[in-house]
Amino acid sequence: MQQYIDSYDFTGKKAIVRVDFNVPLNENFEITDDTRIRAAIPTLKKVLEKGGSLIIMSHLGRPKKVDPKFSLKHIVARVSERLGVPVQFADDCMKADAQAAALKPGEVLLLENLRYYAEEEGKPRGLAEDATDEEKAAAKAAVKASQKEFVKHLASYADCYINDAFGTAHRAHASTALIAKYFPNDKMFGYLMEGEIKAIDHVLHEAERPLTAIVGGSKVSSKLAVLKNLVGKVDNLIIGGGMGYTFIKAEGGKIGNSLHEDDLMPDALAILEEAKAKGVKVYLSTEAVGTQEFSNEAETKVFPSCDIPDEWEGVDAGPHTLAAWKKVIDASKTILWNGPVGVFEIPQFAKGTLRIAQDLAEVTAAGAFTLVGGGDSVAAVTQMGFADKVSYVSTGGGAMLEAIEGKDLPGIAAIRE
């Protein structure tokens, strides 16, 4: 049975909390952005305030063995600073029994990187390149078998389990999904998870209409499942960015040198057909900003998106397109934005993406619900200073993308079931 942090009695209890402390470190192992640590602090503080103690677990990077470069010891001081209490460190997540047992209310223990163990992900490591299928199957079975012990051992440290790692909610790993079954009546989401889940549910299941999705980014192939799911749910679908050109070419447009995927043109046409059948309005770019060179100094020209000369490449949405999209955005009550509508990394091609961010800020101020998630649009709104002017900015790229695809995320299902 799922519990809730606000009503759970943590007095004298040890909570094992899965967080996403996979923060970027520089060459001196200093944290360059501690957003992920800050995001988990409300949950962690609440447990301590309510008389509990904390055993915090996370991964950092993608180590394939014990590797000091990926040690969570680099972040102990910052976690302690943000939490406002000392943080003890267990330098092996499987040998923390004594430290966990000795924890008193208000005390905090951070476990070393879970991914030092293959059991966290449940995937075999160190297989020879020429391993046979039987060898691969045997290695997989072996790691799955030892994974049970790994999960049980982690669970033995605590009385209750909290998952606040939305960034890894789409992974069926030991600490994100499997451990929950050891706490059938004492498992719950942290505040960050709760916020993400509410935002997704609001858009996908309880949206006030009209509901508009803006999908951009580079490739149709990476967003096919997203488009397929959204076309059954939204009223308006704005398709921009590099991926828009596959649609425009599929419809017979001349797109010059613009990014596109010929093999996905049938899928693009099928999505347009389905939208038509369902009465969903699709808005492709009608006007493109073109360039012959990916640089901030390059000459640019505006072309009809379906008539771009051979040497030119569409890298941003043109003014008429942005004006047309703005009308759709202004008339919407709920908006989901996934993926930039231009090569926003280069300032002179970032105007369209900036304009979308501004439009979303305006409709949010006017009462619409706006969710930005699952791709580079999150980086764009954050970079452009609009993160606090939209309703919700997701912290989990891959997890949000899979949620928008309509998939059940293992980290969420494990708490709910």
340 binds ligand AMP (CB under 6 A): yes
- Verify whether residue 36 is a known catalytic residue: yes
Give whichever of 121 and 359 is closer to ligand AMP, judged by the CB atom.
Answer: 359
> Binding ligand AMP by CB under 6 A: which of 274, 345, 362, 405?
345
Stretch that binds ligand AMP, among 77-85, 123-131, 215-223, 267-275 (CB under 6 A): 215-223
Q: Does 241 bind ligand AMP (CB under 6 A)?
A: yes
190 is a site residue for ligand AMP (CB under 6 A)? no
222 forms part of the interface with ligand AMP (CB under 6 A): yes
**Binders of ligand AMP in range 30-89 (CB under 6 A):** none
Active-site residue 219, yes or no?
A: yes
The nearest distance, CB 209 to ligand AMP, in angstroms, is 26
Interacting positions 278-337 with ligand AMP (CB under 6 A): 314-315
The CB-of-216 to ligand AMP minimum distance in angstroms stands at: 6
Residue 139 interacts with ligand AMP (CB under 6 A): yes or no: no
User: What's the CA angle centered on 317, arms 311 and 323, to 5 degrees?
Assistant: 145
Nearer to ligand AMP, 180 or 315 (CB): 315
Catalytic residues: 36, 219, 375, 398
Residues that bind ligand AMP (CB under 6 A): 216-218, 222, 241-242, 259, 314-315, 339-340, 342-345, 375-376
